[in-house]
């Protein structure tokens, strides 16, 4: 299997981390987003949306990183993706929340305004966009912190692919100045999630240095 991705992106990193955790070998091909590799005809043939990561398994090309997590975890039995309809729906709930709210409304705009813009020389942060994202962060982090007040992991008693999904953005917390101080349960859970085997082995160079 081959993964096309951009190592510093949390969406690529979480997929590589899960594959390493599950001992699934992945050939890796760099799609350099800073050079526009995602808009080449070859890459658009794999993902017409022009986004990373993309997993290719034989003639099956799969884009959208949350679907890729489920696919990898479904290749062989693992407690990270239990064969139980309610637990799978519960995991999917957190993956959906991560996509629609935690990522899209809160973490991603802060990472874009405070990290990507600086890195790509795109100008100063848009303070109105930062304020909107900070309000979303407070709203969503309150939900996550409350959920984690009475349990060590998002679903059930042990880690699942929900940890790989939701925790991935928080590796950017320091760089993007994500305001985690008021949320002790998130910080304790993130320490547990980040200690899972897989992340360290696949860390992008900047994260290793951090
Ligand atoms: N919902 C998608 C988001 C993918 C995405 O936005 N990838 C970014 C990197 S984090 C990308 O490739 N952006 C390139 C572009 O928009 O030109 C997923 O989870 O895979």
* Best residue among 3, 4, 5, 11 to mutate for probing ligand 1, ranked by most atoms within 8 Å of CB: 11
Mean pLDDT score of the chain, rounded to an integer? 96
3-state secondary structure of 80: coil
33 Cβ contact partners less than 8 Å away, ≥ 6 residues apart: 6, 9, 52
Query: Which helix (H) or strand (E) covers residue 5, if one does?
Result: strand 2-5
* Best residue among 4, 29, 51 to mutate for probing ligand 1, ranked by most atoms within 8 Å of CB: 51
Ligand 1 atom closest to the Cα of residue 66 is: 19
pLDDT digits 0-9 by tens, 35-44: 999 999 999 9
- CA distances 210 to 24, 134, 175, Å, are 26, 24, 9
Q: Which value, to the nearest 10 degrees, does the dihedral of the CA atoms of residues 31, 16, 91, 105 take? A: -40
Band the pLDDT of 207: cuts 50, 70, 90.
Answer: low
pLDDT reported for residue 145: 98
Spacing, Cα 43 to ligand 1 middle (Å): 13
Report the alpha-carbon distance of residue 137 to residue 172 in Å, rounded: 14
Q: With contact defined as beta carbons under 8 Å apart, do 74 and 94 qualify? A: no
The residue whose CA is least distant from atom 16 of ligand 1 is: 51
Report the alpha-carbon distance of residue 196 to residue 162 in Å, rounded: 13
Closest CA to 69 of 156, 198, 194, 201: 198
Residue 11 near ligand 1, beta carbon < 6 Å = yes
3-state secondary structure of 56: strand
pLDDT digits 0-9 by tens, 2-29: 999 999 999 999 999 999 999 999 999 9
pLDDT of 50 over the 80 cut = yes
Residue 126 near ligand 1, beta carbon < 6 Å = no
pLDDT of 208 over the 70 cut = no
End-to-end CA distance of the chain: 30
Strand partners, 54: 4, 63
What domains can you pick out in the chain, each with its CATH number?
A: 2-79+202-209 (3.40.30.10), 85-196 (1.20.1050.10)
3-state secondary structure of 195: coil
pLDDT of 196 over the 80 cut = yes
Average pLDDT over residues 101-118: 97
Band the pLDDT of 123: cuts 50, 70, 90.
Answer: very high
pLDDT of 183 over the 80 cut = yes
pLDDT reported for residue 205: 83
Residue 43 sits at φ, ψ, to 5 deg, of: -75, -40
Residue 37 near ligand 1, beta carbon < 6 Å = no
Residue 95 near ligand 1, beta carbon < 6 Å = no
């Amino acid at each position: 299997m081959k993964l096309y991705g951009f190592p510093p992106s949390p969406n690529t990193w979480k997929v590589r981390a899960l594959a390493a955790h599950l001992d699934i070998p992945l050939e890796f091909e760099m799609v350099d987003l800073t050079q526009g590799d995602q808009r080449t005809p070859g890459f658009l043939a794999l993902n017409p949306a022009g986004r990373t990561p993309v997993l290719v398994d034989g003639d099956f090309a799969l884009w959208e990183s949350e679907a890729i997590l489920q696919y990898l975890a479904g290749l062989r039995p693992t407690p990270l993706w239990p064969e139980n309809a309610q637990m799978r729906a519960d995991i999917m709930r957190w993956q959906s929340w991560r996509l629609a709210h935690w990522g899209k409304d809160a973490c991603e705009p802060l990472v874009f305004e405070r990290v990507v813009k600086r890195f790509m020389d795109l100008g100063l942060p848009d303070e109105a966009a930062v304020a909107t994202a900070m309000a979303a962060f407070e709203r969503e982090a309150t939900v996550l912190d409350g959920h984690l007040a009475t349990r060590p992991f998002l679903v059930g008693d042990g880690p699942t692919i929900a940890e790989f999904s939701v925790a991935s953005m928080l590796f950017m917390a320091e760089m993007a100045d994500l305001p985690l101080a008021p949320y002790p349960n998130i910080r304790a859970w993130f320490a547990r999630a980040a200690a899972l085997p897989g992340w360290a082995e696949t860390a992008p160079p900047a994260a290793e240095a951090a």
